[in-house]
Amino acid sequence: MKKPDNHILVIFGASGDLTFRKLIPAVYDLHKQELLPEKFAVVGASRTDLSDEKFREKMKDGIKKFANYKEDNEQVVNDFLKKISYISVDTEKKEDFQKLKNHLLKLDNDLGTDGNVIYYLSTPPSLYGVIPCLLGEAGLNNNENGSWKKLIVEKPFGYDLESALELNKKLSKYFKEDQIYRIDHYLGKETVQNILVTRFSNGVFEPLWNRNYVHHVEITSVENIGIENRGGYYDSSGALRDMVQNHLLQLTGLISMEPPSSFDSNAIRNEIVKVFQSFRPFNGRDIQKYSIRGQYTSTTIKGEKVPGYREEKGVEKESRTESYVAMKLFIDNWRWGGVPFYIRTGKRMPTKVTEVVIHFKRTPHFLFSNQNQVNSCNQLILRIQPDEGVLLKVGMKVPGQGFNIQNVNLDFHYSDLSNAYLPTAYERLLHDCMIGDSTLYQRADAVEAAWKFVDPILKAWKNDHNIPVYGYPAGTWGPEKADEMIEGKNMTWRYPCKNLEGDGIYCEL
Ligand code: BG6
């Protein structure tokens, strides 16, 4: 594995949850694998007044709870913590950026980090446009004298098409596109990257990967948790912005893109953008026909009352924000013309699962008596999480008289690999940024193309109150209405497990 250049990682929003749960544990895991440069430091920056010691203590707790590598020897963690310092920075005060500059200069002089810096924006989105400008004005943005500066931005990249364009404009004022790394943690998942390997390293799948052999594609990413303590954010966002515009469309891009000319970051990202540009736009009545939104309602699961979406803290009592989206979309290009892509996401579903199912077309002529009853379409299931793996469903003869067939699974689980170490998404992505590989980061044009597709749906859902918000009891697979979406005889969504036992019924809000 390539070692990154010496550098300093500055995390803005360092007192927040992401730093504690994901970022510092990921940096620690990189340290344990000796994937950090020899000369390296982390600077936590946020508004809160904290001493280095207090910040380190908190980070230590995060490492203990969330790092992949569990360490019995306290001293090992303590040694790592010496690389971390903290500085309080108020974005309202320009002088704080001078203070930051001095801090970075001192660290650079003491450690010899060659002037290289990564700035990680893990702050509320309202600061995404502000911090890069303040860094620029303080002269902290330029690649100079052979050093580099990079900027990592967390999602959401804007709120709609207009704000995304505006944000990209602000970011590009002081940072060039090749300095900007827009993170979508789904792309950092090992199994998401395996989509490319499954497709482009196996001669057996690629010839079938098109409208001639694929009946439809189903992409699911659902969770059993509700919105937890994120009511304020979630109610102004909703599932379409929170999951579809980014994670689900990225998955769709990887599944449907053309083979890139090489495994180069721009070659891959060029193909993904082309997919986004080929999404058939939803116009007028299409929106109601091809997209469904839902909201979980309160129910009792296994004797315990589960609150409905509107009863969650931070959510408006009359909120029409969706916690569930199902959508049927088409990619109007040579490869996929006419093949529906069904995508769905939701909170408070019966389980947590993310998977892609390629449903192949049936054989053209039924030879066996019960072929019609067993679902004789072959399915390739790429299991992103949990129980990561790949599953191919094929028809096999039931032993005994006659020619009865049944579906069986040809099954691969990552957990069967004895040496499988699955790095967390943040570990993978942070390391990629450190070595300057932006393949798994989103480019400005892709973000804009994704918003362009989603924007008319957002607008229609906001403005047209005749478009229903379907209720679904917490712990079920979402509104029944979504089942009607899937075209084809005996075709339904794939339900990896049953509804949880509840007393709710489907209703329209
Ligand atoms: C985040 C969303 O981007 O992804 C969350 O904001 C969601 O609402 C999360 O829970 C899901 O990520 P994962 O990796 O747990 O599937």
Backbone angles phi, psi at 173, to 5 degrees: -65, -40
Q: Does residue 165 fall inside a structural domain?
A: no
Instruction: For 239-307, give the DSSP string.
Output: HIIIIIIIIIHHHHHHHHPPPPSSS-HHHHHHHHHHHHHHBPPP-TTHHHHHEEEEEEE-EEETTEEE-
Low-confidence ranges of the chain (pLDDT < 70): 369-376, 418, 497-509
Q: Are residues 53 and 149 in the same domain?
A: yes
Pick from 98, 132, 154: which residue ends a domain? 154
- The count of structural domains within the chain is 2
Give percent helix, percent strand, percent coil of the chain, each to the nearest 5.
35, 20, 40
Closest residue (by CA) to atom 8 of ligand 1? 242
Mean of pLDDT over the chain:
91
pLDDT number for residue 487: 80
CATH number (domain holding residue 457): 3.30.360.10
Give yes or no: residues 102 and 208 share one domain: no
C-alpha 243 to ligand 1 mean position (Å):
7
| pLDDT at position 243 | 96
Q: Note the pLDDT of residue 508.
A: 37
Q: Is residue 161, in this structure, part of any structural domain at all?
A: no
Give a yes or no: residue 400 inside a domain.
no
Minimum CA distance residue for ligand 1 atom 15: 223
Q: Are 359 and 391 in contact (CB under 8 A)?
A: no
415, part of any domain: no
The set of residues, in sequence order, having a beta carbon less than 8 Å from that of 324 and lying 6+ positions away, is 239, 292, 293, 294, 295, 296, 344, 345, 346, 347, 349, 470, 472, 478, 479, 482
- pLDDT at residue 1, as a whole number: 77
Compute the distance from residue 222 Cα to the ligand 1 centre, in Å.
9
pLDDT at 506: 41
Using the 8-state DSSP alphabet, how is residue 5 labeled? P
Helix (H), strand (E) at residue 384 = strand 379-385
**Do 273 and 327 have their domain in common?**
yes
- Check if 114 has its Cβ closer than 6 Å to any atom of ligand 1: no
Calculate the alpha carbon distances from 73 to 69, 70, 218, 392, 422 in Å. 12, 9, 46, 44, 23
Angle 113-22-165 from CA coordinates, rounded to 5°: 80
Answer yes or no: 413 catalytic: no
pLDDT on residue 504: 40
For 467, the domain range is 187-369+443-485
Ligand 1 contacts CB of residue 223 (under 6 A): yes
The CATH number covering residue 64 comes to 3.40.50.720
CA of 442 to the centre of ligand 1 (A): 17
Three-class SS state of 166: helix
Residues 352 and 224 both lie in one domain? yes
Query: Comparing C-alpha atoms, which of 379, 382, 406 is closest to residue 393?
Result: 379
First to last CA, the chain: 53
Rounded to a whole number of angstroms, the CA Rg of the chain reads 24
The residues, ordered by sequence, that sit 6+ positions from 176 with a Cβ below 8 Å of its Cβ are none
Q: Whose CA is nearest to atom 10 of ligand 1?
A: 223
Residue 371 pLDDT: 59
d(CA 117, CA 120): 10
C-alpha to C-alpha distance for 21 and 16, rounded to whole angstroms: 9
List pLDDT tens digits, range 348-407.
998 899 999 999 998 888 787 665 555 567 899 999 988 889 999 988 888 988 888 888
Same domain, 88 and 233: no
Question: How many angstroms does the Cα of residue 272 sit away from the middle of ligand 1?
Answer: 21
CB distance 242 to ligand 1 below 6 Å: yes
Ligand 1 atom closest to the CA of 246, numbered from 1: 3
Instruction: State the pLDDT at residue 503.
Output: 42
Assess if residue 499 is contained within a domain: no
CB of 312 within 6 A of ligand 1: the answer is no
Q: Are residues 326 and 196 in the same domain?
A: yes
Residues 139 and 229 reside in one and the same domain: no
